[in-house]
Amino acid sequence: MILTLCLILVVTIALFIWGKYPPDVVALISMLSLYLTGILDVPETLSGFSNPTVIMVAALFIIGEGLSRTGWTALAGRKFVELAGKSVPKLLVIVTLGSGVLSGFVSNTGTVATLMPVSISAAWTAGTLPSKILLPVAYGSNAGGLLTLTGTPTNIIVSDHLMENHMEGFSFFEFGLIGIPMLILAIAYFRFFGHKLLPNIKTSNKPINLDAELSKWIEDFSIGDNVYRLRIRSMSPLIDTQIKDWEMESKFNVTVIRLRRRHFNKIKAKSAFVEFPNGKTEMRYHDIITVKGQPSDIDRFMQEFKLGLIPDELHEEELKREFINSEVGMVEVIVTPKSYFVGRTIPLGLYLSQQGIQLLGVSRGGEPINDVNISIKAGDSFIIRGSWEKIDRLKSIYENLVICGSPEAMVKNVDTLDYKSYISLGIMILMILLLSLNVMPGSIAVLLCAGIMMFTGCVPIEKAYKNISWTSVIMIAAMIPMGVALQKTGAAQMISDSLIETLGESQPVMLMGGIFILTTLLSQTINNTATAVLMAPIAYMAALGIGVSPRPFMMTVAVSASTAYMTPMGTTTNAMVMSAGGYKFMDYLKTGTPLLILTFLMSLVLIPFFWPFEISE
């Protein structure tokens, strides 16, 4: 039976390395093979899908998505770049530190996805190449995953393995004892030595920057032209009436774009803003309405309704705040020859009312069109404003429209905070407190916080499941039975005995070093989560075999599984930056090997110091 298991394990690793099939499919094939060969029964084969680790990892994706959608990760990324300015050494330090700190609380993948476009933009701004910045971002996120229990699934796996064997797991911030030094090591490495090994690869992949795009739209489409903010004064007839009562567009050629309540009930209303006023929207005393129209029409409108003009000119930053946030977005839409809109006449500012979409500007041949009524032609460009969800659905409603960019990706680049931003931050703090104080099982705590994140709308329910990396979740669930099989057949004991025999019983540090090397070699070629699942039982058995505490050995697995610095396929984050930075396989090997060696030496010193080999009473 052990020989059969070894054959399945070797084939599984080979398929992971080959990379032709997705890792979750490989893991499922491995899981089914364990059942079909009689090594595991049905409950054991499916045990991974009921494992708390799997539930916890899936829920963490939702929490990370909530922080991204409410502006925190984009805001952090922008602040990192602002701090760096045009100093390349400072930029290296900040992006490595920033990616490390973020990945302690947000998934490594989410961290790199957020920081990659802003880091590329910062590299160009600082006068260097993206290839000099992106590997530090990826490696920083790998190191930063060791800051907290939820920083990476490998941490959860080794902690849960201890608890499954009736031992105390690692606390939420306990990983920081080794994670903080590891992150400092990565920062120092790139600041003083590693930057010399980073390649100079010329690329032309300047990313779409939301701020830059907004600036371009404001200029090219004259969006800021003829936009005014008016105050409803005490003598205005608009007070306590609805917009539809006055036929503003047909009589005055004025469109109400946005309304701000100067006096609003914070209990009844979540926000002071009515982002998309419609005919039934009631206007009240002291409201501020943002309107679009020709100056002469605005003058007539103000006189008719006794409105006050807020004289401050809407500068670019104010326009951005006025038109876009985590709830409301703007995108450019190009009309194709077969579009529904071709030949139709649409007044500027008129709502596409059925879909809640607002038209802010039209450009033809690169020149803005400011006419009140425009006959739409193929090739015309629109700038539209609406909720991100409705923008995302627009293409399926009106065929033959090209939406430039991905609304789903753009919303995560909005760094404006609103009430949901503080709700998501509060949920994150609640999760940390629940996990730190052991109020309830970790998986329940994280699942509860993910549920609150959806219930409060920080992550739309229909988006929550779409943003879970099901490949990772299925792979973890399908690989857990391999760990069960290693223990059930005695293979884990056999491998640990071989390690003990080879490295000796008298020097636990040498055995720990052997486990580190074996784990990190596996993690260079197969997913680090799968590596942790495989190595956790082996490391546990090895520690018991020489009569020492398993805790330092399990921490060694967590650290070494997160040190896939030498290859692009070791972690998703390494692969994510490969194309954007123009890296080749040898770039990872040349840059990552010295960092891995330093990490190895630091681990041999620090892990036994913080987690002694002696078994505590």
Kindly state which CATH superfamily the domain 327-404 is placed in: Regulator of K+ conductance, C-terminal domain (3.30.70.1450)
Side-chain-side CA neighbours of 615 within 13 Å: the count stands at 10
Q: State yes or no: pLDDT of 205 exceeds 70.
A: no
Sequence-separated (6 or more) residues with CB below 8 Å from residue 65 = 110, 453, 459, 463, 464, 467
Proportion of the chain above pLDDT 70, given as a percent: 84
pLDDT band at 212 (very low <50, low <70, confident <90, very high): low
Residue 176: pLDDT band with limits 50, 70, 90: very high
Q: Flag whether pLDDT at 351 surpasses 60.
A: no
CA–CA separation, 406 and 403 (whole Å)? 7
Give CA–CA dist 562/72, Å, rounded: 25
Q: Tell me the pLDDT tens digit for each residue of 131-164.
A: 888 899 989 988 998 998 888 888 988 998 898 8
pTM summary value: 0.64
- Mean pLDDT lowest among 158-172, 234-248, 368-382, 405-419: 405-419
Alpha-carbon distance of 27 to 529, in angstroms, equals 11
Q: What is the dihedral sign for C-alpha 519, 525, 526, 528? A: positive
Domains 225-313 and 327-404 share a fold: yes
Residues 509, 510, 512: CA angle, nearest 5 degrees: 65
pLDDT at 140: 92
Q: Please, what's the b/e burial string for 533-554 (b: 16 or more CB within 10 A of its CB; e: otherwise)?
A: bbbbbbbbbbbbbbebbbbbbb
Q: Is the pLDDT of residue 29 over 80?
A: yes
Q: Which two tokens stand for residue 177?
A: 């004892």
Q: Tokens for 277?
A: 């006023």
CATH code for the part of the protein at 225-313: 3.30.70.1450
The DSSP-derived string for 287-329 is -EEEEE--HHHHHHHHHHHTEEE--S---HHHHHHHH-SSSEE
Check pLDDT > 80 for residue 225.
no
Q: CA 101, CA 326: separation in Å to the nearest integer?
A: 23
Phi, psi of 104 (to 5 degrees): -70, -20
Domain spans in the chain, listed from the N-terminal domain onward:
2-20+467-610, 225-313, 327-404
Give the confidence band of 267 by pLDDT, cuts at 50, 70, 90. very low
Alpha helices in 489-527, H assignment, sequence order: 491-503, 508-525
Contacts of 32 (CB under 8 A, 6+ apart): 45
Q: Quick count: other Cβ atoms within 10 Å of Cβ 488?
A: 18
| Average pLDDT value over all residues in the chain | 81
pLDDT band, very low/low/confident/very high, at 207 (cuts 50, 70, 90): very low
* Residue 237 φ/ψ, nearest 5 degrees: -70, -10
pLDDT at 601 over 90: yes
Q: What is the mean pLDDT of residues 239-251?
A: 87
Label residue 314 by pLDDT band (50, 70, 90). low
